[in-house]
Structure 1
Amino acid sequence: MEGTTQMRILVVNVNTTESMTAGIGEQARRVAAPGTEIVALTPRFGAESVEGNLESYLAAVAVMDRVLSYDQPYDAVIQAGYGEHGREGLQELLDVPVVDITEAAASTAMYLGHRYSVVTTLDRAVPLIEDRLLLAGLDRRCASVRSSGMAVLELESEPERAVDAIVAEAEAAVRDDHAEVIVLGCGGMAELEATVRERTGVPVVDGVAAAVTVAESLVRLGLSTSKVRTYAPARPKKMTGWPITR
C-alpha cells in the first residue's frame, strides 16, 4: 500500500443507504489500528434496508458485485450486515480474508462472558439471525435474540426512541435471559454501544468494530480462507450476466 498504509480493508454495507454506509465506515475507522485504511462501500443495487430473506439474498449478490467492481488492491473484506446471507459466496470469490459482522460479534462476545444475547431491529429478523448463528456453530452460548421493534431506517430517523427500545431489550436480556454480554444486532447500531453498556452494566459488542479487529488479526497472521474444499473457487463455466456491474 502507498504511504503509511499497511493494510486496506473493504467494509461493505448490505443496503443502499449511503448515510448508513458512512456511519459504518466511521465506526470501523474508530477501532482500526494505525496504518489500516478503511474503505466503506455501498452496493450499486438492492434495498434501502435489509430486513428479510428476499432483501438478504439480493444483498448477498449486490455485495459480491460491489467488491468485484472495486479496482484497487485490498487485504480483507467485511460484510457489514447482521444475520445476512452471502459470506460463503464472498469466501469462494476472494483470496483475502472475509469476515461477517454476525460471526465476529458473537465469537468476540464469548471471550467476555458465559452467554450473550443479541438485540436486533424488527422481529422478522430474529429467525435469520438465529439461523446464521446456528450455521456458524455459535448458537450454544446465545441466551436469546431479542427484537427492539425498530426498523433499520428508524435507527437514523428516530434515534431517541431507538435507544430506549434497544436498551429496554438489552436490560431484559440481562435480567430475564441471564445474558452476560450484549451484542448489537445491526450494523447501524454502532453508535449506541456506550449507551447500552452504561445502562446495562455489561460488555457490549458492536459487530463492525469486532469484525475490523478480527480482519486485521487475520491479515497480520498471514491467514485466509481455506480453498481445498468448501470454499474452493467456483468451477470455470459460463455465467450469464455476471458480474452485473462491468
Structure 2
Amino acid sequence: MIDVEELTVRFDDVLALDGASLSVDDGEFLTVVGPSGCGKTTLLRSVGGLQTPTSGEARVGGDPPETAQSAGDLGFVFQSHTLFPWKTALENVVFLRELAGRDPERERARERLDTAGLGDAVDAYPRELSGGMCQRVAIVRAMHLGASTLLMDEPFGELDELTRYDMAASVLESWRDSDRTVLFVTHSVPEAVLLGDQVIVMADNPGRIVDRVDVSLPRPREESTMDTAGFAEQVAEIRQVLRQNRGDDEGAIYAER
C-alpha cells in the first residue's frame, strides 16, 4: 500500500507539488497523467524516497520509503534506463535480486529477457544495445526484482509503438500474476486507461492532483480493448478533465495513442 498525505515539494521559488494526497491499495495499478511540469515525476520520486518533501509525507507499506528500499520491496523504472555499462543485460537484470540477498534466478531472468524480445542479447553490454533495448532491460530488471511495490516513470517513452504495447502487455501479465502494487506515470491518456484500475489526473502551476477517475473496463485488457466504445469514452472523460484544468482547448496534445 502507498499512502501520500498533503505532500508539498518546493524548489526555491517554484511550487512543484502542492498538497498532494492519494492512496494506492495493495495489488492496485494506479496510473498518473498530466501536462509536462505538473509534478508527476516529483510525486513518484517522493513516494520512492528519492525526493525529500518540503512538507507532508509518503509511506510504503506503512513505513518510510527508505525502509521498503532497504528490504528490496520497492522497485523503480525511470525514464532513462540507468543500466550499469560494465554489466551484461543478464547481469543487470539479476543485480537487484543479488543486492537484496535473494536468489538471482538466472534462468527465470533469461526467460523474462526472451519474452521481452531480448533472448539474443542476454550477454550484450548496454553500449551494444539501442536505447529502446536498454529500456526494455531496465523494465525486465524491475519486474524480476519481485518487489511488492513498483514505481514506473514513463518507462515506455523510448520504445516504438509495437514494442510499447508488447511491454505494456508484459507488465500487465506480471502484475496479474502477483500482488504487486504499481504507480505508473505516463503522458499518454490511452496508455493510462489501458493499464490502470484508476487514473490520477494532475494539473500544473502549481503541480496538484485534480481528479481520480475509475477505469470501468473489464480485465484482462488487450490491444483490441483500445478499439471499443467504452475505451474511447474513458479516454475522452480524462481528456476533458485535462482540458478543463488547462483553461484552454489544446487538449489535442493528449491524442497520442
Q: Give the TM-score taking structure 2 as reference length.
A: 0.28
From the two aligned structures, give the one with the greater strand fraction.
2
Q: Which gives a bigger RCO, structure 1 or 2 (Cα 8 Å, sep 6+)?
A: 2
Q: Give the TM-score taking structure 1 as reference length.
A: 0.28
